[in-house]
């Protein structure tokens, strides 16, 4: 056996034995490239995904909701940071990945190309979009690449808070005034199908699926996860007092699951190609934030050079040291009430379902 063959055999054996591949381990180049692509896309989705929700921060209708929404958008930035760091263990850099996002060479989730038109959209995103993300991501906690799997454990915990908060927001609207109920229903009508598209193309048209499953990056097929999501959502919609916009949706006694209507894959392809309602605006805004922030990043780098601080990213390592034990990530002002302990009241059981 040549050396490469021996490495490949050790890699295959580790994957077969459900062992984790770690950054210093040998791995096939295609495995590395596939992970970088997937993790970068995941990180980009967190960052672009801040926009549709941030759109409502300044208009949130109560101070409690405003605090929850701000904390959520902050969490998304944090998730983006974890994921870029995890991707960096594969030999790329955040700068390089951001550049690929800004130049359209890497993608982000198509769902974030839809606009948030009413306050209820914030709830629909929490319930459906985060719900779909969790269904996709919980199996990634067992992904064969260690840094990705560990990032997902942390991210999924926070995502399930968000999902419950979104559900609770919709429930409040659904049980509120007729105008609020209508707002909630309208939001679910608009977000339902795009959420189902988040699981990707059907299995027979999914380019990366088979290889990803063989490498144990993915554990379940797109269609399998999509069905699982529908089965979770239908009873939740009933307890919300809202309907799902699908006349073909019905229980299939024989298969023990819900049948649902056909997805408009031409719309999905259009959004992927950049022709969705907000593609241009999302990317423009991200590019503008980056360009307008260039002078700030340059200042931080120049300051670090002058003062002999270890090179790092602006904001990450204050040159003169932050008091120990206090980091950006801490949020002393976030009461337990607002971090999703309301799940018991709302009856969403995401973890149980995935």
Which residues would be at the binding site for another protein (CB under 8 A)?
47, 50-51, 54, 57-67, 70-71, 73-74, 77-78, 80-81, 84, 119, 172-173, 176-177, 179-180, 285-286, 288-290, 292-303, 306-307, 313-316, 318-320, 322-323, 326, 328-334
Of residues 15 and 170, the one with the C-beta less far from another protein: 170
**Cα–Cα distance between 289 and 274 in angstroms, integer?**
20
What tokens does 56 get? Answer: 């409502």
Neighbours of 337 (CB within 10 A): 10
Q: Which helix (H) or strand (E) holds 230?
A: helix 222-240
Q: Is 311 helix (H, G, I), strand (E, B) or coil?
A: coil
Of residues 84 and 260, the one with the C-beta less far from another protein: 84
Q: Is 57 helix (H, G, I), strand (E, B) or coil?
A: helix
Neighbours of 28 (CB within 10 A): 14
Of residues 152 and 184, the one with the C-beta less far from another protein: 184
Of residues 118 and 222, the one with the C-beta less far from another protein: 118
Shortest distance, CB of residue 184 to another protein, whole angstroms?
A: 12
**Cα–Cα distance between 289 and 295 in angstroms, integer?**
11
**Cα–Cα distance between 160 and 163 in angstroms, integer?**
5
Shortest distance, CB of residue 54 to another protein, whole angstroms?
A: 4
Shortest distance, CB of residue 295 to another protein, whole angstroms?
A: 5
Shortest distance, CB of residue 57 to another protein, whole angstroms?
A: 5
Inter-CA distances, 301 with 92, 98, 315, Å? 20, 18, 10
Of residues 105 and 288, the one with the C-beta less far from another protein: 288
Of residues 242 and 354, the one with the C-beta less far from another protein: 242
Instruction: Give the contacts of 68 (CB within 8 A, at least 6 positions apart).
Output: 165, 338
340: phi > 0 → left, psi -120 to 50 → alpha, else beta; which?
Answer: left
Shortest distance, CB of residue 354 to another protein, whole angstroms?
A: 27
Shortest distance, CB of residue 309 to another protein, whole angstroms?
A: 10
């Amino acid at each position: 056996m040549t050396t490469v063959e021996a490495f490949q055999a050790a890699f295959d054996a580790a994957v077969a034995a459900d062992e984790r591949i770690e950054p210093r381990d040998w791995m096939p180049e295609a495995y590395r490239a596939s992970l970088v692509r997937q993790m970068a896309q995941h990180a980009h989705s967190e960052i672009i995904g801040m926009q549709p929700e941030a759109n409502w921060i300044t208009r949130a209708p109560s101070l409690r909701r405003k605090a929850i929404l701000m904390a959520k958008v902050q969490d998304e930035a944090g998730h983006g940071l974890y994921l870029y760091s995890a991707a960096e263990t594969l030999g790329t850099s955040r700068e390089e990945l951001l550049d690929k996002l800004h130049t359209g060479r890497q993608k982000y989730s198509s769902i974030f190309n839809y606009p948030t038109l009413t306050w209820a959209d914030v709830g629909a995103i929490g319930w459906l979009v985060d719900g779909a993300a969790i269904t996709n991501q919980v199996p990634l906690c067992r992904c064969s690449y260690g840094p990705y799997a560990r990032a997902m454990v942390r991210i999924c915990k926070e995502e399930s808070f968000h999902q419950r908060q979104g559900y609770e927001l919709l429930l409040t609207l659904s049980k509120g005034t007729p105008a609020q109920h209508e707002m909630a229903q309208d939001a679910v009508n608009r977000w339902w199908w795009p959420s189902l598209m988040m699981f990707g193309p059907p299995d027979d048209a999914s380019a990366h699926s088979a290889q990803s499953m063989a490498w144990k990056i993915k554990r379940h097929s797109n269609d399998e996860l999509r069905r699982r999501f529908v089965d979770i959502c239908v009873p939740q919609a009933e307890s919300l007092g809202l309907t799902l916009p699908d006349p073909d949706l019905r229980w299939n006694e024989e298969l023990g699951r819900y049948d649902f209507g056909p997805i408009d894959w031409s719309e999905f392809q259009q959004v992927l190609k950049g022709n969705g309602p907000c593609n241009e605006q999302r990317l423009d805004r991200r590019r503008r934030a980056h360009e307008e922030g260039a002078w700030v990043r340059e200042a931080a780098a120049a300051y670090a050079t002058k003062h002999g601080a270890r090179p790092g990213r602006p904001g990450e390592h204050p040159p003169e040291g932050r008091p120990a034990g206090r980091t950006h990530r801490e949020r002393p002002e976030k009461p337990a009430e607002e971090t999703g302990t309301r799940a018991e009241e709302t009856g969403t059981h995401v973890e149980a379902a995935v």
